[in-house]
Amino acid sequence: EDQVTQSPEALRLQEGESSSLNCSYTVSGLRGLFWYRQDPGKGPEFLFTLYSAGEEKEKERLKATLTKKESFLHITAPKPEDSATYLCAVRSTTDSWGKFQFGAGTQVVVTP
């Protein structure tokens, strides 16, 4: 069975204090790994899709990387507006169309 585990559950950072979030996954075959940002009371906002080990994607202060077992979301010099819950999801090559397996998320709080 496909599994996605995110760590830590919560992360409190000072503004400018860089850190990384982890997403460990187990799938029979990886079709894609996805990162989302979710603000309170809102739906998840798409950030990145990664397809193969070694791939990296960047957007502003965020950088996502992928290995065969896990993905990292690096937050460089975070600002308070980066506070959100970050969700990781995978699609397996054997799953039905559109079935994403989500992790529980990492809640990030960035204080000034």
Partner 1 sequence: SAVISQKPSRDICQRGTSLTIQCQVDSQVTMMFWYRQQPGQSLTLIATANQGSEATYESGFVIDKFPISRPNLTFSTLTVSNMSPEDSSIYLCSVGGQETQYFGPGTRLLVL
Which residues are near partner 1 by CB under 8 A? 4, 32, 34, 36, 41-46, 49, 87, 89, 96-100, 102-105
Smallest distance from the beta carbon of 17 to partner 1, in angstroms?
A: 25
Q: Bridge-partner residues for 39, per DSSP? A: none
Smallest distance from the beta carbon of 16 to partner 1, in angstroms?
A: 29
Smallest distance from the beta carbon of 78 to partner 1, in angstroms?
A: 23
Question: What does the block give as tokens for 103?
Answer: 């992790």
Of residues 59 and 99, the one with the C-beta less far from partner 1: 99
Q: How far apart are CA 68 and CA 55, in angstroms?
A: 11
Instruction: Check residue 77 and give left, alpha or beta (phi > 0: left; psi -120 to 50: alpha).
Output: left
